[in-house]
Amino acid sequence: MTQPKDFGFGVEEQLLQTEARKFFKKQLDELTLMELVGGNSDPHRDSECLWDEKMWEQMADLGWTTMAVPEAFGGTGMSGVAVASFIEETGRVALPSPLMATVNSSYVLSACGTDEADSVLKEIAGDKTAGLAITNQKGSWCSMDTDVSAVVTEDKATLNGMAWFVQDARKVDLFLVKAESEAGIGLYAVSADAPGVTILPDSIVDLTRDQARVNFEGVAIGADKIVAAPGKGNLALDAAEPAILTMISADMCGAAEWQLQTTVAYAKTRMQFERPIGFFQAVKHPVVNMMIMIDCARSLVFNAACAIDHEPEQAKAAAHMAKAAASDMAAFCSGRSVQYHGGMGFTWECFVHLFFKRQIHNQVLFGDAAYHRAELAEMLIGPLVAGG
């Protein structure tokens, strides 16, 4: 298969992007965001879960929360490039929401291809939110890694163990849990309020997200909630991985563009030595480098999104490229955005830390730059012989 030159980014996608930009600009300017998530600066504060549920309802009414659910199951079923550009807009305002978690879950469920998964997709289409509970204590979601086990019988499964680093855990209605049983890795849909499920919130750096450990203690679910049978779970996760990596990279591009524009605006107005600081090349050139890195990552994001839509055999490599570029880019842009705001940038009061912290979170989520380069090296160069 081949990709269309224009990434498949046509009139419809443009319309959605414009609408989304308008919506978020109106609903969530920086001050509103600060009031929403920045109220408590105490580093020892209790873990919080701050988001605007009313806005989420509006987004649901607009069909935005089901964009990765195929139309056949009642979602709005948008293309990968449309979802990527929408998520980019949410990154631009550092939106606290279960969108990414729900979109990721939708991709995983679609990849399962089972009746059980399809019926969960229908639940999402009916405005349920979902999140992935697939990571172990070491932060890995690769191959057999999971700290949750499953005992599967004829008509039910019982889960025990802990899922770590679960994103937006307190914002979602259900989890897709990666668990190991005798027959291998399976995926299980578990309601967040099911008996035996305990959410243990993490205290995290990022103010725009919530994260938790989710403990499963003898959690029993019906066979109709086994969305990928034991032995099939990793196939579904693998198939959804390109989309997951692409969407988080899109979020990072949006956030970084905010950092760029905000830093440029400051560099144009902040006067020192009788000049705006943007006059100095020690400021100007790295700011240009921010732009260059954003453009590179952004182009790779749309390349990966288009591959998901049109050239699935290329999607994995393209997604590794996007996430590697986006993670490095985010680190650089975040650092520069704080540095060039000077002392002001070092304060809680200044908005830049909200995006800075979201990016720190994004950089490592689902693998950092070095990890994705190593993965890509395996694909392009061949395996690195261990211990050799």
Q: Tell me which residues touch other proteins (CB under 8 A).
A: 2-7, 9-10, 13-14, 17, 85, 260, 264, 267-268, 275-276, 278-279, 281, 283-285, 287-289, 291-292, 295-300, 302-303, 321, 324-325, 370, 373-374, 376-377, 380-382, 384-385, 388
Q: Which residue number, 42 or 274, has a Cβ lying nearer to other proteins?
A: 274
Quote the least distance from Cβ 373 to other proteins, whole Å: 4
Phi/psi for 28 (5° steps) reads -140, 70
Q: Which residue number, 43 or 383, has a Cβ lying nearer to other proteins?
A: 383
Quote the least distance from Cβ 113 to other proteins, whole Å: 27
Through-space distance between the first and last CA atoms of the chain, rounded to whole angstroms: 38
Rg of the chain taking only CA atoms, in angstroms: 21
Structural tokens at position 61: 């009414």
Quote the least distance from Cβ 163 to other proteins, whole Å: 30
Quote the least distance from Cβ 146 to other proteins, whole Å: 27
Query: 63: phi > 0 → left, psi -120 to 50 → alpha, else beta; which?
Result: left
Q: Which residue number, 189 or 300, has a Cβ lying nearer to other proteins?
A: 300
Tally of CB atoms within 10 A around 58 = 14
Quote the least distance from Cβ 335 to other proteins, whole Å: 18
- H/E stretch holding 269 reads helix 233-269
Query: Of 265, 245, 263, 257, which Cα lies nearest the Cα of 293?
Result: 257
What are the C-alpha distances in Å from 242 to residues 7, 372, 385? 16, 11, 25
Q: Which string of DSSP letters, residue by residue, matches 116-139?
A: HHHHHHHHHHTT--EEEE-B-TTS
Tally of CB atoms within 10 A around 53 = 10
Q: Which residue number, 18 or 47, has a Cβ lying nearer to other proteins?
A: 18
Q: Which residue number, 160 or 339, has a Cβ lying nearer to other proteins?
A: 339
Q: Which residue number, 364 or 374, has a Cβ lying nearer to other proteins?
A: 374
Give dist(CA 188, CA 63) in Å, integer. 26
- H/E stretch holding 96 reads none
Q: Which residue number, 297 or 365, has a Cβ lying nearer to other proteins?
A: 297
Give dist(CA 209, CA 204) in Å, integer. 8
Q: Which residue number, 154 or 381, has a Cβ lying nearer to other proteins?
A: 381
Quote the least distance from Cβ 191 to other proteins, whole Å: 39
Phi/psi for 156 (5° steps) reads -160, 170
Quote the least distance from Cβ 86 to other proteins, whole Å: 12
Quote the least distance from Cβ 139 to other proteins, whole Å: 20
Query: Of 372, 283, 257, which Cα lies nearest the Cα of 325?
Result: 372
Question: CB of 322 within 8 A of CB of 300?
Answer: yes
